[in-house]
Amino acid sequence: MSISTRRGDDGTTKLYHGPRVSKAGPRLAGGGDLDELGAQLGLARALLGADPLAARLEALQRALFVAGAEVSTPPAARARLAERLTPAHLDDLDAQVAALEAEPGMLDGWSLPGATVPGAALDVARAVCRRAERGLVALCAAEDDAFPVLSPWLNRLSDLLWLYGRWYELRHGADSGLKADRGW
């Protein structure tokens, strides 16, 4: 068996529990954005090494696999999925956001990406997450689909990724906060 089946050479791929579709379609674009986000979180996780934040990123990567399966499955076949994002996933992100926002200095200003390599990787992940969110909105509009948990989950995730980057940098003495007195 080979990973290279050549069936996609014609520009199509098979949906999970569904038909073959164009690789240029909005469903594949949405799934690709989620895949890229997972890879970017993997890079950030690798850069963090033994930092406790790495375990949180791994949990998010695992949730993104679930999200990718949802996006890659036509609505009529989603009941066949073994796992889906639930309101509990959303509640978990909300709890993490609230906890980080309560940390001293977290909301003292906006941060300029690049103060640390792991922080910059988290900022890239945040930007990719925002693109994934926009892609999901486009998919929903183009194919009359809905993701009642995934849509808000991606919105919260991008906020959380910003907070993770800021938290990491503050913990490592690299505050790149942009405050009002700096021209904002």
pLDDT of residue 179: 56
Q: Which of 3-7, 75-79, 84-88, 167-171 has the lowest mean pLDDT?
A: 3-7
β-pairing, 20-22 with 110-111?
unpaired
pLDDT of residue 31: 92
Rounded Cα distance, 156 and 33, in Å: 16
Is residue 68 over pLDDT 80?
Answer: yes
The count of other CB atoms within 10 Å of the CB of residue 139 is 22
Rounded Cα distance, 96 and 182, in Å: 29
Mean pLDDT of 159-182: 80
Helix, strand, coil content of the chain in percent (nearest 5): 65, 5, 30
Is residue 138 over pLDDT 70?
Answer: yes
Q: What percent of the chain has pLDDT over 70?
A: 95
The answer to whether 151 touches 140, Cβ cutoff 8 Å, is yes
pLDDT of residue 184: 44
The gap from C-alpha 23 to its chain's centroid, in whole angstroms, comes to 21
Instruction: Tell me which of 184 and 68 has the higher pLDDT.
Output: 68
Q: All domains of the chain, ordered by start, with CATH? A: 12-73+85-94+107-175 (1.20.1200.10)
Is residue 115 over pLDDT 60?
Answer: yes
pTM to 2 decimals?
0.89
